Amino acid sequence: MTGATSEALQTASRSAAEVTGRNWLTTTFYRAGLAAVLSLAASVGVARAQAAAPVVRGATEWSVSAGAARGITFLQSVGGERYLTSQLSWGRVLTDLRGPAWVRGRFEWAVEVVPVFAEWSAGKARGLGLTPLGWRWNFEPRGRLAPYLEVGGGALWTSAPIPSGTTGSNFTAHAGVGVRVFSAHGQGLVVGYRLHHISNGNRLRRNPGVNAHMLTVGWTRMGTR
């Protein structure tokens, strides 16, 4: 066996080990998220019998979460992207209860920072992002159970193009659904799903973009101060 062949085999072995480790990390994250969802479901009956969630006009929400995303084939995007993110978010509930009974809720505006973005399926990009336009519709709580819908838009900067062959500065957008289960003092677990989009906004001739399923799990605190 030549030196070049031996080196190639060693490189392939290391690459396979890296992919296996990262796939294990993603799988573990998704399993943890599923466990959290099941825990939330088990808590619904208890939550309804307890005091109301602190989602009121003027409340301020701070949250921290992590997300795992898996790219899908949708419109111009090709599936296969894998990435992890972290989110730091601040929001403020701006309205009292509004709307008909089946969608009755309160509107919240939020700003989100993404201090860590890590992609490994193609260029092993690292980066950060900012989502200044976050809108959340908080449905009327059921005890300490507080579901919501959200949409948001912002930007992402990475060390390598996302996806390959495009650019390292992109626009982002998402639409999602989630639920919080509050414990005492306005703190609680939050689990959410997002359809996450990354795109260069047609600044280049090629704009395949990335569309991905993302599961997020984190901690939130809501109070009047």
pLDDT (tens digit per residue) in 200-225: 888 887 788 899 999 999 999 998 76
Give φ, ψ of 76 to 5 degrees.
-90, -10
Residue-level pLDDT at 34: 55
Residue-level pLDDT at 49: 43
Residue-level pLDDT at 46: 45
How sure is the predictor about 75, in pLDDT bands with cuts at 50, 70 and 90? confident
pLDDT tens digit sequence for 94-109 = 999 999 988 999 999 9
> Could you give all domains of the chain from N- to C-terminal order, each with its CATH number?
3-223 (2.40.160.20)
How sure is the predictor about 131, in pLDDT bands with cuts at 50, 70 and 90? very high
Q: Is the pLDDT of residue 185 over 90?
A: no
How sure is the predictor about 74, in pLDDT bands with cuts at 50, 70 and 90? confident
Q: Which of residues 197 and 36 earns the better pLDDT score?
A: 197
74: alpha, beta or left? (left if phi > 0; alpha if psi -120 to 50): beta
Contacts of 27 (CB under 8 A, 6+ apart): none
Cis before 163? omega within 30 = yes
Q: Which has the closest alpha carbon to 220: 122, 118, 110, 143? A: 110
In order of 77, 89, 118, 167, the CA distances from 86 in angstroms are 23, 10, 9, 21
Q: Is the pLDDT of residue 9 over 60?
A: no
The CA-to-CA distance between both ends of the chain, in Å, stands at: 69
Residue found by looking up tokens 């359809």 in the block:
195
Answer whether 131's CB lies under 8 Å from 147's CB: no
Q: Is the pLDDT of residue 40 over 80?
A: no
